[in-house]
Structure 1
Amino acid sequence: MKNNIKELRAALKMTQSDLAQQIEVSRQTVNAIEKGKFDPSLPTAFRLAAVFNCSIEELFVYESES
C-alpha cells in the first residue's frame, strides 16, 4: 500500500514528531507508515485523515501485487 503522508506532512511544515504527537503514536511509527513498512490501524488512519483534512482514500492507495 502506498501513501502520500510524507508529502502532505511536508506541505504543512510538520516534523514526524509533530505528526506523531497529533495522532498519538511514536515518531518511529510515523516513519514506518511513511515508508510503507507498517499499515496503521483504522483509528490511526482516521486520525491521519483528520490532521490532513482529507479522506483515508486520499492518503492510502492500494496496489495489487499482480
Structure 2
Amino acid sequence: MELREKFGLNVRRSRKAKRMTIEVLAHQSELSYSYVGEIERGLRNPTLDVVEALARGLGIDVATLFES
C-alpha cells in the first residue's frame, strides 16, 4: 500500500471516529467534498497545506494522519 493510500485511510478513520460526513470535513477544511473523497480513496496526493487543513478540520495533530 502506498503512502497516499495509508494517508487517505487515516483521514477516513479519523473522520468516521468523529462521526463527520465528508461534506462537513470538507467545509471545515475549506476544501471541496469531491477532493476530500479522492484523498480518502488514495487517488490524490495532497500538498502539505491540504494535509494541514484536513488535520485542522478534524481537530487533530498532523502527525496522526501519518501513523501506521
- Shorter-chain TM range is 0.7 to 0.9
- TM-score of the superposition, structure 2-length normalised? 0.75
Q: How does 1:27-42 map to 2 (within 5 A)?
A: 27-42=33-48
- TM-score of the superposition, structure 1-length normalised? 0.77
Q: Say how many residue pairs are matched.
A: 62
Structure 1 distance, partners of 2:53, 2:16, is: 17
CA RMSD, Structure 1 to Structure 2 (Å)? 1.8
**Could you say which structure has the higher strand fraction?**
1
Report percent identity of matched pairs.
34
Question: Runs ≥4 in structure 1, deviation > 6 angstroms?
Answer: none
Are the equivalent residues in 1 in contact too, given 2:29–2:54 (CA < 8 A)?
A: yes
Q: Which runs of 5+ in 2 are unaligned?
A: none
